[in-house]
């Protein structure tokens, strides 16, 4: 049993959506295939005041796409700090090497997973490619510009954001070196938390960033990652999910039985 188990947990797609007060939240409640804890807790950087950020993936049953009003591509809630993507949107963003979504697939803190979610996790390597260099670094550059704007406006950066920028660069470097994505900071925890507490100067932080960029440049030349993600493998998975959630769960009609033709 794999994907087909998805439809055994809920009513038919149309009945579920029509009866729910909030269709988006109903999709998260009834059709989540994978959810995990992200943020500082997943990165190994949690402190006493850390939030619990939950990220998830749900499968909107195929009949909902036959309407003019399509199901949402993402849903916020129902819990605080909870955000979920519809599986097709999730896969599309992950194929573009979106750092947030790639990291979701590698969280050590899995909250819920069903057979479809297991198959999605089995596809983790299909999403990884050298494209991660540009997306991870691009996101880091955006955050650096914001930190520099903070310094100009307030005289200091937001140290928590500086910590997470460094964490992202470490993750990018190690991904390119090994071909595997690990989001727990491990041995870097103490040094990163010192940055968060403002115990390092901005010059020290910028120096660390420069070293990480240099190490990433060196890793690119010999990375085991493929040039592109395995789009065909992911697409095959999506087609199977859509196909197996296409038929409403109603009693099957009795098959018609025609008499055999009379002998000539």
Q: What pLDDT, on a 0 to 100 scale, did the predictor assign at position 261? A: 52
Is the distance from CB of 30 to CB of 114 less than 8 angstroms?
no
Q: Indicate if the pLDDT at residue 13 is higher than 70.
A: no
Average pLDDT over residues 117-131: 97
Q: What pLDDT, on a 0 to 100 scale, did the predictor assign at position 22? A: 81
Q: Indicate if the pLDDT at residue 156 is higher than 70.
A: yes
Average pLDDT over residues 131-136: 97
DSSP string, 213-225: HHHHHHHHHT--S
Q: Indicate if the pLDDT at residue 193 is higher than 90.
A: yes
Q: How confident is the model at residue 259 (pLDDT cuts 50, 70, 90)?
A: very low
Q: Indicate if the pLDDT at residue 244 is higher than 80.
A: yes
Q: How confident is the model at residue 237 (pLDDT cuts 50, 70, 90)?
A: very high
Is the distance from CB of 127 to CB of 157 less than 8 angstroms?
no
Q: What pLDDT, on a 0 to 100 scale, did the predictor assign at position 7? A: 40
**Distance from C-alpha of 43 to C-alpha of 185, rounded to nearest angstrom:** 6
Domains and CATH numbers, the chain: 3-128+229-244 (3.30.460), 131-221 (no CATH)
Average pLDDT over residues 123-143: 97
Average pLDDT over residues 200-224: 96
Q: What pLDDT, on a 0 to 100 scale, did the predictor assign at position 23? A: 82
Of 8-12, 63-67, 95-99, 191-195, least confident by mean pLDDT is: 8-12
Give pLDDT tens digits for 160-184.
999 999 999 999 999 999 999 999 9
Q: What pLDDT, on a 0 to 100 scale, did the predictor assign at position 264? A: 52
Average pLDDT over residues 73-82: 92
**Distance from C-alpha of 132 to C-alpha of 228, rounded to nearest angstrom:** 10
Q: What pLDDT, on a 0 to 100 scale, did the predictor assign at position 21? A: 60
Average pLDDT over residues 222-237: 97
* Vertex 4: Cα angle to 242 and 19 (nearest 5): 70
Q: List CB contacts of 22: < 8 A, sequence separation 6 or more.
A: none
Average pLDDT over residues 207-236: 97
How does the average pLDDT of the chain come out, rounded? 88
Average pLDDT over residues 9-35: 68
Q: Which residue has the tokens 């490619």?
A: 129
């Amino acid at each position: 049993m794999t994907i087909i188990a998805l439809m055994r947990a809920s009513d038919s797609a149309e009945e579920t959506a029509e009866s729910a007060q909030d269709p988006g939240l109903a999709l998260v409640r009834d059709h989540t295939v994978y959810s995990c804890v992200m943020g500082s807790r997943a990165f190994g950087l949690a402190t006493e005041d850390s939030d619990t950020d939950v990220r998830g993936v749900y499968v909107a049953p195929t009949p909902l796409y036959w309407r003019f009003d399509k199901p949402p591509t993402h849903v916020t809630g129902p819990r605080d700090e909870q955000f979920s993507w519809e599986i097709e949107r999730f896969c599309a963003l992950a194929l573009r090497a979106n750092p947030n979504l790639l990291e979701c697939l590698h969280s050590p803190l899995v909250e819920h997973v069903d057979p479809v979610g297991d198959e999605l996790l089995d596809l983790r390597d299909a999403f990884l490619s050298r494209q991660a260099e540009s997306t991870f670094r691009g996101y880091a550059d955006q955050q650096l510009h914001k930190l520099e704007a903070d310094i100009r406006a307030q005289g200091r950066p937001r140290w928590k954001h500086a910590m997470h920028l460094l964490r992202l660069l470490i993750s990018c470097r190690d991904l390119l070196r090994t071909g595997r994505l690990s989001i727990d900071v491990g041995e870097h925890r103490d040094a990163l938390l010192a940055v968060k507490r403002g115990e390092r100067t901005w010059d020290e932080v910028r120096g660390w960033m420069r070293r990480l960029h240099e190490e990433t440049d060196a890793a690119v030349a010999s990375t085991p990652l493929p040039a592109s993600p395995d789009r065909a493998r992911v697409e095959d998975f999506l087609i199977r999910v859509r196909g197996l959630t296409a038929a409403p769960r109603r009693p099957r009609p009795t098959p018609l039985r025609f008499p055999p033709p009379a002998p000539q």
